[in-house]
Structure 1
Amino acid sequence: MSRKVYVVGVGMTKFEKPGARDWDYPDMAEEAGKQALEDAGVSYEEIEQVFAGYVYGESTSGQAAAYRLGLTGVPIYNVNNNCSTGSTALFMAKQLVEGGIADCVLALGFEQMAKGSLDTSGKGRFNPLGRHFETMAEQRGFAKAPPAPQIFGNAGREHMEKYGTTAEQIAKIAHKNHLHSTKNPRSQFQDEYSLEEILESRMIHEPLTMLQCCPTSDGAAAAVVVSEDFVKEHGLEDQAIEIAAMSMVTDTPDTFGDSAIKLVGADMTRLAAQQVYEASGLSADDVDVIELHDCFSANELITYEGLGLCEEGKAGELIDAGDVTYGGKWVVNPSGGLISKGHPLGATGLAQCAELNWQLRGLADDRQVDDAEVALQHNLGLGGAAVVTLYKR
């Protein structure tokens, strides 16, 4: 019989532009890890296992990072699942606790990135995204734009062509997320932009302008994941947030068909969300606050449909109705999302976890969602994996 699993402590550094701060990845991991341990009131000596997530680094970077927290001899696993690395580390921690293997596990994610567009080359080896880019080229050719905004921009184009969605509706997503980030002191960017400024910023790959694309970032985040027995033994009931359900899905044959939307993981998202709703007995209508993977504004658009916030093709109407911000049906990306908060790949999923735990505990300060009881998290990595998590207070 599986056990209930809780998050009892979270931590997160401020996300920074690469090179903006004089630190290395062990420094940022130590900062986030210590915050999570202090939040939980747990010492590192009580941690039984560690999952350390990062994309760019050496084979034992996880050890180098976690050793800053202590040298206790516990197992430390190095996790890499592209942009969904942080939530994959959380998923693995949850499985250990749920299965009775451990009672207290640390999920730690960090990234120290280079400036500029992501390096998606295979570095002389088979490119793990090679099949995705080959399919993209077959569908719409290969433009001069960087591959990442190109593949997600193509998904936005397909949505516009099939459903009449407009470039302005897609840009409204970036406008919302930049506005949300002005109230998040940990966000890489805290600037408000008008819709016109977003639409008129440099075009990267139509319909995506620069202000609709997430930046490269440095930073770390962490979560302490425990069993119900641990919660009771340590008197953590007031701050324990239950992971009500969690699912990770990888690509299916439909990914590599004729749809640019499916190529960027829409079906993975839909399947993971369905599994989470079924396992929890909850639905999208029960959710109050959402952190989802808006690496580009077009991906937030198609993710609304994958998560069941609206019917297929209706995401533009959802945006226009104001249902994805304060005063609407859901608040999506109150942190500012990847577009404005930043996207240090290994840390992103755990930063989403931290934000949603703060929201459910009423600790989100000026960005607090009123009476938040249920939260939904979505983290996507091309290549590929989609992780969807449902939390409840």
Structure 2
Amino acid sequence: MTTRTFVVGVGMTKFEKPGSREWDYPDMARESGTKALQDAGIPYDLIEQAYVGYVYGESTSGQRAVYELGITGIPVVNVNNNCSTGSTALFLARQAVRSGTVDCALALGFEKMQKGSLGSTYEDREQPMLNHLKELFPLYEWGGEPIAPYMFGAAGREHMEKYGTTADQFARIGWKNHRHSVNNPYAQFQDAYSLDDIKAARMVYDPLTKLQCSPTSDGSGAAVIASERFVDEHDLWDRAVEIVGQSMVTDTRATFESKSAITIIGAEMSALAARRAYDEAGLSAADVQVIELHDCFSTNELITYEALGLAAEGEGGKLVDAGDNTYGGRWVVNPSGGLISKGHPLGATGLAQCAELTWQLRGKADARQVENAKAALQHNIGLGGAAVVTLYKQPN
């Protein structure tokens, strides 16, 4: 037997350029976690389990982080799933509540990152994406660029070759997301750029310029997940947002057998996770108004439109041209500014997405508010790999 699950409290820090603020991960966790508990209107003593996500850190950093909120002896699970870490913590917290194991759980994610492009931490063991790269290197030339933009840039090139997608269509996604972030006080960047600015920025891996790439960031996000019984007992219906569908998918055989850069960077995982989440929720893409998706690079946002069913295969560029990814269009995608402009502290990203969509469905997103937002979709992916898709609705 399963129970309905609800987000009853969310909180996050402003995302910052690494080293620009004097703080450490316990400070980040204290800020986001305290905000989430205050938003829920409950004390930490009512949290029965905590799932704490981060990519760069020591083995029990999760305990150290939530000890800033209270030391109550509850199970604390440390979570690391690359860029989908925050959503994985959310997935596990929701699973614990949905199964009836607990009535209230905390999902929290943080990251304290090094400046510059992502790199490996350990050089004395096999890298987890080595098999992905072995499949990709014969398809697209690598000239020593940072690995992440190479992988997602190669997928963008394949999309251009197969479907006639243009560099301008990718650039317009970067332009859109920077424009959206102007209204987000939590965003690392709040500057609007012209389309020419986006296109003229330093080329990282063609077609990706710097302003189409997510930055490294410091920051934290948190969400309190509760059962229907808990919401009733504590009279939290005025703030509850229901998670009606959720799925996590890891790499399938297709990742390594497809001879496709688009599949290697996770489109197959995302599509399968979306189908399963839609099925659980009884919804389709047509029922959603607002979306936070994993735009680590503009190419991935466009490819993900198709994986999530917003556009048919090969037609993501048409969705961009029609303006159906922003205010006044069919969907508003990444009203927060997305990873490109809001920032991307790996462990916090999925929970920041959850916070944004919770505010949207409550009608509390201020200047970012999407009109008549009643259902929302979240997509978070980490190479190596895992994709998590979550669907939210205003509760009945």
Give TM class, smaller chain. Answer: over 0.9
The residue number in structure 2 matching 1:288 is 289
Aligned ranges for residues 1-393 of structure 1 at < 5 Å?
1-120=1-120, 122-256=122-256, 257-393=258-394
Q: TM-score scaled by structure 2? A: 0.99
Deviation sequence 1:58-98 (CA, Å, 0-9, x none): 00000110000001010100000000000000000000000
* Other structure's SS at 1:220 match: strand
The one-letter code sitting in structure 2 at the alignment partner of 1:292 is: L
> The residue matched to 2:283 in structure 1 has which SS?
coil
Counterparts of 2:383 and 2:265, CA distance in 1 = 7
Name the aligned partner's letter for residue 41 of structure 1.
G
Structure 1 gap ranges (5+)? none
Superposed CA offset, 1:354-388 (max 9, x none): 00000000110000001100000000000000000
Q: Contact conserved, 1:120 with 1:129, CA < 8 A, in 2?
A: no
Post-superposition offset of 1:135: 1.3
Structure 2: 5+ residue runs without aligned partners?
Answer: none
Query: What amino acid sits opposite 1:251 in the alignment?
Result: D
Distance 2:134 2:57 in 1: 27
Q: Distance in 1 between matches of 2:278 and 2:390?
A: 10
Deviates more, 1:171-180 or 1:122-131: 122-131
Runs of at least 4 residues of structure 1 off by over 3 A? Answer: none
Distance 2:120 2:204 in 1: 17
1:325-372 Cα deviation digits (max 9, x unpaired):
000000000000000000000000000000000000011000000110
In 2, the alpha carbon distance for the partners of 1:207 and 1:170 equals 8
1:139 aligns to what SS in structure 2? coil
How far apart are residue 121 of structure 1 and its match? 5.8
Mapped contact 1:93–1:105 kept (Cα < 8 A): yes
Letter in 2 for 1:345: L
1:122–1:128 contact (8 Å) kept in structure 2: no
1:142 CA drift (Å): 2.3
> CA-atom RMSD, angstroms?
0.7
Instruction: Quote the sequence identity (%).
Output: 66
Q: Which amino acid is the alignment partner of residue 146 of structure 1?
A: P
Deviation of 1:138 (Å): 2.0
Residue 302 of structure 1 aligns to a residue whose secondary structure is helix
- 3-state SS of 2:139 partner: helix
What is the rounded CA distance, in whole Å, between the counterparts of 2:382 and 2:376 in structure 1?
Answer: 20
Q: Which amino acid aligns with 2:369?
A: Q
